Structure 1
């Protein structure tokens, strides 16, 4: 507890250094910097805002990490010096409040009721109450009045009930995290019957609503799609369904991370929604880097267009009902060329058929490949190689034939089991193309050596032996004379015949 308490006390400086390293928190760096400057200039906080903080503290039952231990202490009357509080260096108003607990370690603050006094912090830009125990209470509606908020994190804190639509008033918000752990102590989590309020938050770049109940929010594709600045979308285990309409298209050209796993009701129309929007419209280069659609009911083939995402590094489509073949576009250069950056590919537990495309050997950065539990047939491409860490691959429970490729022999037979026609005790020899390349190389080398040897044997002899050299040149002169005579005689004969 003491070490954690010490960490909290050095919050302004440590957060300032930390946020410089994390680009998503760059909007907060200015706030922390202003806080440090404010303390140097001895700017004190506003009395009304100090009282609001004390009212908030009075509703906290227990402070495990002593986050607010010095709040209201006679020795620290200036609330700008309190742990977790950041103030403006110009006005002294509170602009940041970080009371986050320790994730996965039980949290810090315990309360059954949060004071509405938070709504009095009208200049607040950064609010983090994550990883605490708030006993399944509703999100205070007073937060919806903090119209200057840029960052709001209420994750892992036990909030439940309907997400207040008043959050739609926070039009300056760039980051919103209302996620929860599925194993939290509270049976009921957050829910929403509509996400229409999100469409007003046009500056949002990051959204995390994972483990909230959005089973009735059938407008989520339209609401999320209307956010032009969106870069990160995390909505795992939200009971989402895809019911696309003509207005269901994404306006963001900057999506980097999309995680929609464990929703179970998402269909193949999700590809249409994604592929219409994840390109940078100005350059045509796809921006998507991380895609997780695992544990849904996506049916049908994997679109060939998936190979156009040259920035994609992580793709997990496992545990769906995908059918057809693996797109041959995987590993091929996109419309603007350049190698694929894909390093993680999981297509396991689907209904994929056909052979493993030869183009997959072009995935230069591949470190994780799972094609298990499908209906794949044929040989594994001879030149397939897992080049990067963690060097994992699995082909079990398929209909593959042949033997283990030499470059995958380190995986052992277990990675290829449950393929009836596969020889797990045999390692392939050199690839056919390698054999042809070696033959061509040997042929060219032989021709080159033969020419080199013959040329210098002949020229060297003429150089050393004068009699041979003279005889050779006499022979050449004789040949040239004969050719000249033959040409002249035949030319004269031709002319006479022509004149006659």
Structure 2
């Protein structure tokens, strides 16, 4: 028994240091990528960040980058193990009206420093709400091989979107949206997008896609896409058939403000995961298709400002999860605007005069 009593401290002596070391590693991994808690940055990347800051309008006022450890700077996140900068959030923080080019609160011109490319471990980059004076999106942004999040929305970039963005094969989130009076982006071909197979969120609102005749076929190649905004994208053709619908993970589809001038194609009702569907302001015509009953997960449906006619089909009212429907600005006749969807559920409905009703 004596030998057993002395062996217990020996076991603890061996295992406790190991458990403490392993626990500290777990802590390190848990906090990696958090901009407020991470390891010390490298001196080279610290200098790069200061160089990038100089190109961003008034950034010295709202970033307040002080101290030697850049991993503790606002908007900067580092890998806790290596100290490399993996997150950079430089979005302009002050509110202004993006639709008003004369808003005095709008930031003055910024520039993207080429030294940004030296932050080659970046996974997250946000330059939104700045103003880059209609300069083109730099080609070198397509060189960030680890990038998973890219937000350039309402940043005043102009010209053709560079094909090099297709090199961002790990990208999950891409926002290139803008107000048409604040930067003007276009594409000459959307083929580069097909290389980003992991993409889950895409917003190209107000990007001119009129030359991208292959747009729907490219989108159809992205099996993980969940959210798609192509509002006011100068699209005029929505094919009536697709050989195979591959992007069935979509939960949000916004095609509003284009000019399709056709009936709603049948393949759209194969997108059975849709929760939010906006087809407003598109000159769609004909009856609301009976096949809409296939969209059983739909919560919000906007068919406003088209040329639909006839009665609202009974299949609309069979959508038990539907919470809101906008049918204003159509030629729909017959009763039904105040009818409930589902049992004991309230449905907000906008009728021909855009009046809000509750069932």
Distance 1:211 1:358 in 2: 32
Of the candidates 254, 258, 281, which is equivalent to residue 253 of structure 2?
Answer: 258
Distance 1:174 1:256 in 2: 15
After superposition, the Cα gap between the structure-2 partners of 1:193 and 1:32, relative to the gap in structure 1 and judged at 3 Å, is farther
Distance 1:358 1:234 in 2: 27
Matched with 2:47 is: 51
Unaligned runs of 5+ in 1: 1-29, 280-286, 333-338, 375-390, 394-406, 409-500
RMSD over aligned CA atoms reads: 2.9
Equivalent residues in 2 for 1:338-487 (5 A)? 340-353=320-333, 355-356=334-335, 360-364=339-343, 365-372=345-352, 392-393=356-357
- Give the structure, 1 or 2, with the largest relative contact order (CA under 8 Å, sep 6 or more): 2
CA contact (8 A) 1:156 1:180 kept: yes
Matched with 1:318 is: 304
Distance 2:291 2:136 in 1: 43
| 1:254 match: secondary structure | coil
Distance 1:359 1:62 in 2: 52
Matched with 1:275 is: 269
After superposition, the Cα gap between the structure-2 partners of 1:243 and 1:50, relative to the gap in structure 1 and judged at 3 Å, is same
Matched with 1:202 is: 197
Matched with 2:231 is: 236
Deviations 1:231-250 (A, max 9, x none): 11111111112242765653
Deviations 1:194-243 (A, max 9, x none): 21111111111111110111111111111111110111111111111224
| 2:314 match: secondary structure | coil
Matched with 1:177 is: 175
CA contact (8 A) 2:29 2:81 kept: no
| 1:102 match: secondary structure | coil
After superposition, the Cα gap between the structure-2 partners of 1:149 and 1:37, relative to the gap in structure 1 and judged at 3 Å, is closer
Matched residue count: 324
- 2:75 is the alignment partner of 1:84: yes
Deviations 1:345-383 (A, max 9, x none): 111221224x33699444443432123169xxxxxxxxx
Deviations 1:409-437 (A, max 9, x none): xxxxxxxxxxxxxxxxxxxxxxxxxxxxx
Structure ranking higher in helix proportion: 1
After superposition, the Cα gap between the structure-2 partners of 1:33 and 1:307, relative to the gap in structure 1 and judged at 3 Å, is same
**Structure number with larger C-alpha Rg:** 1
CA contact (8 A) 1:148 1:170 kept: yes
| 2:317 match: secondary structure | coil
CA contact (8 A) 1:34 1:89 kept: yes
Distance 1:201 1:131 in 2: 24
After superposition, the Cα gap between the structure-2 partners of 1:288 and 1:53, relative to the gap in structure 1 and judged at 3 Å, is same
Distance 2:322 2:93 in 1: 34
Matched with 1:217 is: 212
Equivalent residues in 2 for 1:90-101 (5 A)? 90-101=81-92
Q: TM-score, normalising length from structure 1? A: 0.59
- Residue 137 of structure 1 deviates from its aligned partner by 1.2
After superposition, the Cα gap between the structure-2 partners of 1:215 and 1:39, relative to the gap in structure 1 and judged at 3 Å, is same
After superposition, the Cα gap between the structure-2 partners of 1:37 and 1:62, relative to the gap in structure 1 and judged at 3 Å, is closer
CA contact (8 A) 2:231 2:255 kept: yes
Q: TM-score, normalising length from structure 2? A: 0.81
Distance 1:351 1:77 in 2: 65
